[in-house]
Amino acid sequence: MSTSREPAPRLEGDHSDSSGVNGPVVAVARARTARPMHLATVSLPALLACMRPREWVKNVLLFAGLIFSQSLGNASLVAASFCAFALFCLAASAIYLLNDLMDREEDLRHPVKRNRPLPSGRLEPSLAVMALIALAAGSLSGGFALHPGFGAVLTVYLAMNVAYSTRWKHVVILDVMLIAMGFVLRAVAGAVVVGAAPSPWLILCTLTLALLVGFGKRRHELSVLGENAARHRSSLSGYSLAFLDSMMTVSAAAAVVTYALYAMSPEIVERFGRMGLVVTTPFVLFGIFRYLYLVHQKREGGDPARAFVSDLPTVVNGTLWILTACVVIYAPRTWFAL
C-alpha cells in the first residue's frame, strides 16, 4: 500500500524551493521576477534604504569643530557647518552604495544583511551605480565650492573608502584602522570648514573612540556568524573573540586617558579654567562603559549608529555631555577657575 506524504509546512520567511535548494539565492530570483511590475515603487525606497540615512548620525562629529572653536555665535560658520554635514552625508551614502555593490554575494550569507535592497534583489545594481556616481560627484563639487580644504578632506575620505571597499577591508586590523580614520576625517573636515586648526587632541580622542567602536563591530559579527564568519568577511578569519576583547580594552583605556589628558592640558586650562572640561569626563566614562555593556551583555555592537540613537541611557548621556561641554566652552572662564 502506498502512502502519500504531505509537503512540510513552510515557515514564514522560508525561501526554499521544492527541490530543497535553500535560501537567499531563490529569494533573489523571485524578487527579480516580480520586480518589473513595481519598479518605480520599489526602487526609490530601496535606494533610500541603501543610502542608510540612519548612519548619517556619525556625521554629527563635524560639528565638534564648530563647538570647540567657540563659533556657535557666528551665523555664517554655523551655516557652513550644516552644509558640510549635508555634503558628508552624500559622500557617505555613495560609499554605502559601493560597499553594498561589492558585498552582494557575502551579504547573502549574513542573517541580517541579506535583507538589504541589493542582495535581496529589491534594487537594480545599475541604479545603485548611477546613484553612487551622482552622490560622489555632487558631494565633491559642493565640497570644493564650500571650502577648498573641506573638498580636499572629502576627496581623501572617498578615495580611502574606495580602497577599503575594493581591497583593504580584507586585511586584519587595517580594516578597523581605516574605519576609525573615517571618523577622524569627519572631525578634521568640521574644523577645516570653520577655519580652525584641527587639534591633535581632537584627532587622538576621535581615533581611539572610533577604534573601540570598530573592534566592537567586528566582535559582534564574529559572535553572530560563528563558523560562517569568514565566508561573510574574509578578514574575520584572522580575528578571535579573545583578541578583539583585548583590542577593545586597549582602545577603551586609550580613549579615557587621551580625553583626560586633553581636559587637563595647559591650553584647555588656559582657555576654560582649571576644572573646565574635567567636569565632562564622567560622561565620557559612562559612554564608554555603556558601549562595552551593550557589546558584551546585550550583543548590540553590530550597528553602533542604531545603539547611539535608540539606547536611551546613551542618548541622555550624550546630550548631557554636549550641554555640559557647551557651558564650559561658552560660559565665563571664572566659572571653572577653581
DSSP string for residues in 228-257: GHHHH-GGGGG--HHHHHHHHHHHHHHHHH
- Reported pTM: 0.81
Q: How far does the chain reach from its first CA to its final CA, in angstroms?
A: 95
Assess whether pLDDT exceeds 50 at residue 11.
no
pLDDT at 25: 41
12-41 per-position pLDDT tens digit: 334 344 444 344 444 444 444 444 434 444
pLDDT at 93: 95
127-176 per-position pLDDT tens digit: 889 999 999 999 999 999 999 999 999 999 999 999 998 889 889 999 99
280 DSSP 8-state letter: G
pLDDT at 271: 80
Assess whether pLDDT exceeds 90 at residue 336.
no
- The pLDDT > 90 percentage for the chain reads 50
User: What's the rounded mean pLDDT across residues 97-108?
Assistant: 81
pLDDT at 9: 38
Round to whole Å and give the CA distance between 70 and 271.
Answer: 11
Assess whether pLDDT exceeds 60 at residue 116.
yes
267-284 per-position pLDDT tens digit: 888 887 767 788 999 999
Which conformational region is residue 178 in: left (phi greater than 0), alpha (psi within -120 to 50 degrees), or beta?
alpha
pLDDT at 24: 42
pLDDT at 1: 43
- SS3 of 168, please? helix
Rounded to 5°, the CA angle 289-294-298 comes to 145
pLDDT at 333: 65
Round to whole Å and give the CA distance between 43 and 219.
Answer: 33
- Beta strand extents in 23-153 (DSSP E only): none
- Mean pLDDT score across all residues of the chain: 83
pLDDT at 50: 87
Task: Identify the CA nearest to 189 among candidates 307, 287, 329, 91.
Answer: 91
Distances (CA, A) of 172 to 80, 215, 241: 37, 11, 14
- SS3 of 137, please? helix
Task: Identify the CA nearest to 78 among candidates 89, 65, 91.
Answer: 65
282-326 per-position pLDDT tens digit: 999 999 999 999 999 888 876 778 878 889 999 999 999 999 999
CA 109 to chain centre: 21
CB 318 within 8 A of CB 308: yes
- The cell for 63 is 560639528
- Burial string for 246-258 (b: 16+ CB within 10 Å, else e) reads ebbeebbebbbeb
pLDDT at 26: 41
How many helices (H) does the chain have, and how many strands (E)?
16, 0
